[in-house]
Amino acid sequence: MHMNTQTIVSLAVSVALVGWAFWIVSPKSSTGSEGTTIPTAIVVDGTQIIDIRAKGGYSPRRVVAKAGVPTVLRVSTNGTFDCSSSVVIPKLSYQKFLQPSGTEDITIPAEQAQGTLQGLCSMGMYNFQIKFE
């Protein structure tokens, strides 16, 4: 019942490869490779509007917004049938299955527009982040 060299080598190589694949899909590497500037939310008539497209993930994945301003998170779908159509924002206890095509306005009151708001799809495969500064 001892491990032979073959087993150990195959184990080590496998672990290294899987580690590499996980690095590829980790949130850090995806934001790093995506772009240089993080989009900033725009303020219209005292309301901050953040546009996020949902299809096969969320884009942009990171948005910087002003803290303490009434905010509307506008999520648009266009032929979206994957996980990203079911949006979950744990901090707001928000969950909604969006129509395959359309837009959904999620209101974030000024007092909740603080810190980092994490949104993700109901299976957790895709996510986005809003940083209130």
Partner 1 sequence: MSGTHCAACAVLIEQILAEQANIESAKVFLSSRQVTVIGIFSESPEKIAEELSKLVQSHGYAISVEKQTNDAQLGDFAYAVPIAAAVIIAFLLLQKAGLTSLITSSNVSYGTAFVIGLIASVSSCLAIVGGLVLSLSASSAKEGGTWRTQTLFHVGRLGGFFILGGLVGLLGNSLHLGLTANIVLSVAVALVMFILGVNLLDVFHFTKRLQLTMPARFGKHVMNGSTHDHYLAPLLVGVGTFFLPCGFTQSMQLYALSTGTFMQGALTMFVFALGTFPVLALLSFGSLNIAHKPWKGIFFKTAGIIVIALALLNFTNALATAGVVNPLFNF
Q: Please list, residue by residue across 97-110, b when 16 or more beta carbons sit within 10 angstroms of its beta carbon and e when fewer do.
A: ebeeeeebebebee
How far separated are the first and last CA of the chain, in Å rounded? 58
User: Which member of 38, 57, 66, 131 binds partner 1 (CB under 8 A)?
Assistant: 57
Pattern of binders to partner 1 over 79-108, x per CB under 8 A? xxxxxxxx-x-xx-x-x-xxxxx-------
Rounded Cα–Cα distance for residues 128 and 117 (Å): 8
Cβ atoms of residues 114 and 95 within 8 Å: no
By CB under 8 A, how many residues form the interface with partner 1? Answer: 54
Q: Which residues bind partner 1 (CB under 8 A)?
A: 1-4, 6-7, 10-11, 13-15, 17-18, 20-22, 24-27, 30-31, 55-57, 61, 78-86, 88, 90-91, 93, 95, 97-101, 118, 120-127
